[in-house]
Structure 1
Amino acid sequence: MVGFVNRPHPKHFPSMQTVFWAKPPSGWVKVNVDGSACENPGLSGGGGIYRRDDGRFVLAFSSAYGVGSNNQAEIRAIYDGIILCLDRGFSKIIVETDLKVAARLLSGTLATSWNWKPWVARIKSLVHAAELVFSVIPREGNGPADGMAREASGTQASIVISHYRDLPPHIRGLLFLDKVGLGVVRDTRVKM
């Protein structure tokens, strides 16, 4: 007996895209940042992961922000990420976030809401202190920074980690996958 499998028409397959973390150019450091809130609004925090042009881990941070939204936490994490870079002597910095609205806020193409205005102004004031480039990555490609932000919002503890071995194991795993060039699959029908 011959059987047939009913397969869905190709138009029913989700659109998939593989997201890869890209290394920064030679001489640059990239800080991926993210914000998290346990509820929105709720206890919030931000986090970031710094990597060199060869993909090596440099530094990570988690910052507790108290009650706020995930977007507020992301804007604050961008600021904290830049400040830590400057404190460590980095002058060529790529700040990568999964919050598309952040790029519009920082470029001036979107009006700043009153509760973000002070942080956006602080970020813009740092543009003269270093070469700053802002980029956006889909949320699936920002897993290590998301992990650090969730740590901060969940524990309300602020930490800086300078040794790879001190990172939580799941974040070390995500960094390894990024470094060897394995991407994360995302459904492009999902709106961010």
Structure 2
Amino acid sequence: MVVFNRKGQNQNLSKEIMNQTLEFFYCVHSPRNPSHKALRAIRWERHPAGWKKLNTDGSCLGGSDRAGCGGLVRDEHDNWVGGFTRHIGSTNSFIAELWGLREGLLLRCNLNIDSLVVELDAQAVVEVFKNAAYVNNVIFPLLDDCRHLTACFHRIHFNHCYRQANRCADLLARMGAIQDVDFISFSSPLVDICNAFEDDFNGVLSNRMCPVLDGIV
């Protein structure tokens, strides 16, 4: 006797395929671990006078459908200007990072910023915005939003940073992943990130094994 175990059709199959494809893209375009590394002291870096700095991050909680993003803007004196958390739902790391960037750039509408340093710990996202010719039809709407928003700035510059220099945004992104509402904005630092915010302000260092490129760490 043969028994067939009938299973219902996966209604989210196309979405899962898209997410896995983008996750593959994210991994492939992220820097591979080089064989040579050295210990380096990492900290959040101050930005030039006349500029404001945006740090963003995306978070996907393992084994769940809860993803989120978060970020904050600081002025040239390292003071809090504005921040946000957003709940995204089911997605992958690359899209969560793009959502974080989009929401961070949208803060400009309320904060009247014309010169902005953007800092993320996702190298793949930074490379996308340094390459104006890059096209990806799957993420085009989100990517196009971000590119249109960057065009609104008088001056904008993208930097990659290590996770240890992006702690405040990381904490906000994790909060976004678990919050019940879609979006929250903050006019002052949250209690949950005050320690990390103070560490950034005081230039506290964290050690990390970093790639050695051409003999330079």
TM-score, with structure 2 as normaliser: 0.73
- Which runs of no fewer than 5 residues in structure 2 stay unpaired? 1-36, 212-217
2:187 corresponding residue in structure 1: 162
- Match runs of 1:48-127 below 5 Å: 48-108=71-131, 111-127=134-150
CA distance in 1, matches of 2:150, 2:175: 28
Does residue 43 (structure 1) correspond to residue 43 (structure 2)? The answer is no
Contact 1:100-1:136 at 8 Å conserved across structures: yes
Contact 2:73-2:83 at 8 Å conserved across structures: yes
Aligned pairs, how many? 173
* 1:24-44 Cα distance to aligned partner (Å, 9 max, x none): 211111010000011377321
1:135 corresponding residue in structure 2: 159
Query: Runs of at least 4 residues of structure 1 off by over 6 A?
Result: none
2:177 corresponding residue in structure 1: 153
Matched-pair identity in %:
23
CA distance in 2, matches of 1:37, 1:70: 6
After TM superposition, give the deviation of residue 86 of structure 1 in Å.
Answer: 3.0
SS of aligned partner of 2:86: strand
CA distance in 1, matches of 2:97, 2:179: 17
| Distance 1:146-1:110 versus aligned 2 partners, 3 A rule | farther
TM-score, with structure 1 as normaliser: 0.82
1:176 corresponding residue in structure 2: 198
Task: Quote the RMSD (CA, aligned, Å).
Answer: 1.9
Contact 1:75-1:116 at 8 Å conserved across structures: no
Contact 1:85-1:93 at 8 Å conserved across structures: no
1:10 corresponding residue in structure 2: none
